[in-house]
Amino acid sequence: MYKDIFESIRNEAEKRNLRERTIQLYCSDVSYFLRWIGKNVSDLTLGDAESFLTAKRLEGRSPETHNHYRSA
């Protein structure tokens, strides 16, 4: 469904010489965000990302996990 997004993530990550596992985690994190937010990609806003990050922080996610979500 979001094939183009994941291809873009992969392309940018490979340019940065990220490890395969990091790329997989970023794609997984973005997939989780898209399911969580429940909107079409074209309707997403910066506020949606901030809401997601705030909710995850308030759920008690570790700083490392929170930073990983932000990076993805």
User: What's the mean pLDDT in 27-37?
Assistant: 95
Which amino acid is it at 2?
Y
CB 69 within 8 A of CB 29: yes
Contact 56, 65 (CB under 8 A): yes
For 5-32, what is the mean pLDDT?
A: 94
The pTM score is: 0.86
pLDDT value at position 1?
A: 65
Instruction: Give the domain extent around 37.
Output: 3-71
Count up the domains in the chain and report the number.
1
